[in-house]
Structure 1
Amino acid sequence: MTTKTESKEPKSMLEKITQFKIGFIPLPLYLMLAVGYILMTVAEKVPENDMLAALGIMTVFAYLLEEIGKNIPVLNTLGGKVLVVTFFPAYMVYKNWLPKSTVDVVSSFMNNNNFLMFFITLLVVGSIASMNRHTLIKASSRIIIILILCDIIGSLVGTGVGMMFGMSAWKTYFFIVAPIMAGGVGEGAMPLAMGYAAIIAKDQDGIFGQILPCVMLGSLVAVLCAGVLKKIGDVKPELTGNGKLLDNPNEEKLESLKGGKVEVNIEKTLIAGILAITIYFFAVWFEHVFKQTLHFAIPSPVILLVAVMGAKMLGFIPKSIEEGGNSLYGFTVKGITPPLLFGVGVAKTDWSKLIEVFKNPAAIITIIATVLAIVITAYVVAKIVGLYPVDTAIAVSCCSGQGGTGALAILGAGDRMELMPFAQVAVRLGGAMTVTFAIFLMGLLS
């Protein structure tokens, strides 16, 4: 018979080791995974173009770097785990500290399999499906108004600050401010470079190389801002909805969105996943149709976002899929986010481009001022229109990130992955508005 005294005996060293975790992985299992990676790498037997190898390597590094980021004083309150998981791998690639086989297999996986789109699709469908319909309708209409104001004020403040430091309004707006708010690289900086090149008859690659560092530094500043906003929310809980933009007293509590324990129905989760893939198929097809018939492209991520939000607002998503979307969201955030951030750092964050902008102090100050103007505007206007200012500012600041990769890092730093649908609105809609206006304005002034 176990006595009361025996039940309180201190845990043995072995028990403590087995209960310690790297991320969510028990330490003994993590060590076995790491040893397997080391043996495979030293023997030069890392499989090329291998999904399992890439995911395994990303897991080895991602959760270890995340633990390091969580334990760095000061930085851990400013989104440190995301900064370490995303930007330190980019620095390691720059310094050749990672084995070539590791860089090659992770880069191949990230560049050839559209893994980021897979993540965003599951996250958007999962989070929207599990939202309260009336809350989504009210928040979406207000977020668009805030986004438009942020674009206007961010442009004016950024351009004004650049001019104060001796740069021309032309250079400041078209080559620093507009690229920051263009919605990323592929769907923002690249179309801007193409449009600029056609208007001013200059080399597109040269223009792209000039604006890309501004996009990357703007994203880094937004990540830091998200970490500060999270800290504000921790200190003043009345300013944050902890992943909600609008408080709805009738909204059902979905505990898994913040890591709470809920019963997971595997079949419902899989159905929500199949729904995500189904909508993606149709989005790709509609993108093709629009391009062929209307001669302009609406990116498939935009079509997917509009379709899911429309279905949810109209009440077409049944209760069973809402429950499955909730657990799909939880799996995506916990199981995919850290490895994906590491992959983004290795394959999609060029450290040499990032540090180029540090050669121009005026550009640095302009970038910081532009992002801060967006964040502060979103924060203030959110309070006026009845949204939670912390969450709204984090979501809207994604318009100044590197598209999907930037939104991932910004929301991760702010611990607000639930806001990915609204972040996508900021990235896609805000980016499209900025690209269209900037190219039109340059054409008008040239």
Structure 2
Amino acid sequence: MQQTRDLASSQAETERTSFWPFGWWAIVEIRVGIIPLPIYLLLLALVAGFVITGKVPGEISMAIAVLVLCGFTCAELGKRLPFFNKIGSAAIVATFLPSFLAFHHLLPEKLLGMVTNFTQVSNFMYLFIASIIVGSIFSMDRQVLIRGFAKIFFPLAAGSIVAGIVGTTVGTLLGLGTKHTLLYIVIPIMAGGVGEGAIPLSVGYSEILNIPQGPVFAEVLPAVMIGSLCAILFSGLLSWIGEKRPHLTGRGTLQPAQDIPKTPRFEAAPTTPDVNTVAAAAITAISLYLVGLLGHRVLGLPAPVAMLFVAVFIKVTRLVSPNLEGGAKIVYQFFSTAVTYPLLFAIGTAMTPWDKLMAAINVANVVTIACTVAALMSTGYVVGKWLKMYPIDTAIVNACHSGQGGTGDVAILTACNRMSLMPFAQIATRIGGAITVTITLLILSRLS
């Protein structure tokens, strides 16, 4: 009897160590990003086949395959850079390597055209932002949300003032001129990105100063891009410091939990949501974005900001059930895990001009930009600590004020693994940027 059991055990052990199917299953579990290794190799061969045959289909399935393949390849390269992998190099490589490749025509022309067209036509970045904002707000503790929104404006305002003074002073000392430094470097950094910042700023400068808008835009754009790059690097560095000193960070929350009063009667933990609930949460996020889009047409507010306010109102007034909140959290987790790096690759390929970035790289410009971003984040750190917020997370939200709009927010928060801060990042980027542009143009019009 014992001999029979030993024989059966030996056979079972042999099966487990045999290549098929156990060895093959082990290979399938090796992943490049989220892609199983055999599927990764299959996608690589398929994309190469389409490129060689001379036509890359523009349909959504092909676009998803290419973006996922290229985005996670770039991210994996970034994750393997010594030291830099600890401060967000995956996000940097996923954004700027495709920009370099596209500018130097190192990507196949038909592949580049398909990615660019899909990115510009689908505008799927806003689907990503909608899912991240609604998911993170709905899954956030209600009291944390209320107090976080009430407090975040203080470090943001203080940081903007200090960064303006420090950046202008540094640029002046380096020979860039006070007016040039303030108007063409410091203000563009905090203007809210390209679409909501650099473009309206250049249009305003053009009308007020009676100069052509095109050259002005070309002059302010590099400051936006290099400022965003500095914010990514500094945020990644802060995240690394937070790993060494965990008491300084909430890992994606702004305020210590012990400072928040609990309301257990309403904030019951939701059960694990089913597929229907997750789908309901996804369509809820899309619906709220459309509300924001309509709000933009009627009120002029940027769509993400209008959506943000609506989502906060819904959360604060408890208009959604805990179960739907749980579904929104799953949607948030899916997009932050599966869509971030493909989105960054698309942004780098279609929306990040490598030549403009390189044109502004000189010692005086880079030092001025770096000092401006550092002052903005350092002030956020100090004021956040004074307000009993987590200083590292507060500084990272301030960093988003110097980001490249919504694309910068994605890259910055990805670099430091704090996508749950997206609602506060949108406040820093959209509202902070709009206030910066408005005040600047008002003062300039009075002085001209």
**Is 2:210 the counterpart of 1:201?**
yes
Q: Are the equivalent residues in 2 in contact too, given 1:69–1:82 (CA < 8 A)?
A: yes
Q: Are the equivalent residues in 1 in contact too, given 2:236–2:415 (CA < 8 A)?
A: yes
**CA drift at 1:17:** 2.6
2:131 to 114, 122, 126: 122
Q: Aligned partners of 2:247, 2:11: CA distance in 1, in Å?
A: 43
Structure 1 residues 137 and 40, CA gap change in structure 2 (3 angstroms) = same
* Secondary structure of the corresponding residue to residue 106 of structure 2: coil
**CA drift at 1:51:** 1.8
Task: Report the counterpart of residue 88 of structure 2 in structure 1.
Answer: 79
Q: Aligned partners of 1:196, 1:69: CA distance in 2, in Å?
A: 38
2:32 to 22, 32, 48: 22
* Secondary structure of the corresponding residue to residue 131 of structure 1: coil
2:46 to 26, 36, 44: 36
Q: Are the equivalent residues in 2 in contact too, given 1:132–1:251 (CA < 8 A)?
A: no
Task: Report the counterpart of residue 13 of structure 2 in structure 1.
Answer: 6
**CA drift at 1:251:** 7.0
**CA drift at 1:14:** 4.4
1:46 to 39, 43, 56: 56
| Root mean square deviation, CA, Å | 2.0
Structure 1 residues 10 and 84, CA gap change in structure 2 (3 angstroms) = farther
Structure 1 residues 213 and 352, CA gap change in structure 2 (3 angstroms) = same
Q: Aligned partners of 1:68, 1:7: CA distance in 2, in Å?
A: 37
Q: TM-score, with normalisation over the residues of structure 1?
A: 0.93
Q: Are the equivalent residues in 1 in contact too, given 2:397–2:421 (CA < 8 A)?
A: yes
**CA drift at 1:212:** 0.3
Mapping 1:107-146, distance limit 5 Å? 107-146=116-155
**CA drift at 1:4:** 11
Q: TM-score, with normalisation over the residues of structure 2?
A: 0.92
**CA drift at 1:273:** 1.1
Cα displacement string for residues 145-184 of structure 1 (whole angstroms, at most 9, x for unaligned residues): 1111111111011001111112221111111000000000
Give the percent of matched residue pairs that are identical in Structure 1 and Structure 2: 38
Q: Are the equivalent residues in 1 in contact too, given 2:201–2:441 (CA < 8 A)?
A: yes
Task: Answer with 309-318 or 326-335: which moved more.
Answer: 309-318
2:418 to 410, 416, 419: 416
**Is 2:215 the counterpart of 1:211?**
no
* Secondary structure of the corresponding residue to residue 182 of structure 2: helix
Mapping 1:143-162, distance limit 5 Å? 143-162=152-171
Mapping 1:89-104, distance limit 5 Å? 89-104=98-113
Q: Aligned partners of 2:54, 2:352: CA distance in 1, in Å?
A: 25
5+ residue gaps in structure 2? 1-7, 264-270
Q: Partner letter of residue 346 of structure 1? A: T
Q: Aligned partners of 2:365, 2:55: CA distance in 1, in Å?
A: 45
**Is 2:309 the counterpart of 1:306?**
yes
Structure 1 residues 137 and 109, CA gap change in structure 2 (3 angstroms) = same
Task: Report the counterpart of residue 58 of structure 1 in structure 2.
Answer: 67
Cα displacement string for residues 110-139 of structure 1 (whole angstroms, at most 9, x for unaligned residues): 111111111101110011010001000111
**CA drift at 1:95:** 1.5
Task: Report the counterpart of residue 350 of structure 2 in structure 1.
Answer: 347
Q: Are the equivalent residues in 1 in contact too, given 2:273–2:323 (CA < 8 A)?
A: no
Q: Aligned partners of 1:46, 1:194: CA distance in 2, in Å?
A: 38
Q: Aligned partners of 2:18, 2:166: CA distance in 1, in Å?
A: 58
**CA drift at 1:396:** 1.7
Cα displacement string for residues 21-79 of structure 1 (whole angstroms, at most 9, x for unaligned residues): 1112210111111111111111012013x222111111111112211111111110110
**CA drift at 1:419:** 0.6
**Is 2:287 the counterpart of 1:278?**
yes
Task: Answer with 176-185 or 100-109: which moved more.
Answer: 100-109
Q: How many residues align?
A: 430
Task: Report the counterpart of residue 267 of structure 2 in structure 1.
Answer: none
Q: Which has the larger radius of gyration?
A: 2
Q: Partner letter of residue 381 of structure 1? A: V
1:398 to 397, 400, 410: 400
Q: Are the equivalent residues in 2 in contact too, given 1:53–1:105 (CA < 8 A)?
A: no
Mapping 1:192-341, distance limit 5 Å? 192-249=201-258, 263-290=272-299, 297-341=300-344
Q: Aligned partners of 1:152, 1:444: CA distance in 2, in Å?
A: 20
5+ residue gaps in structure 1? 253-261, 291-296
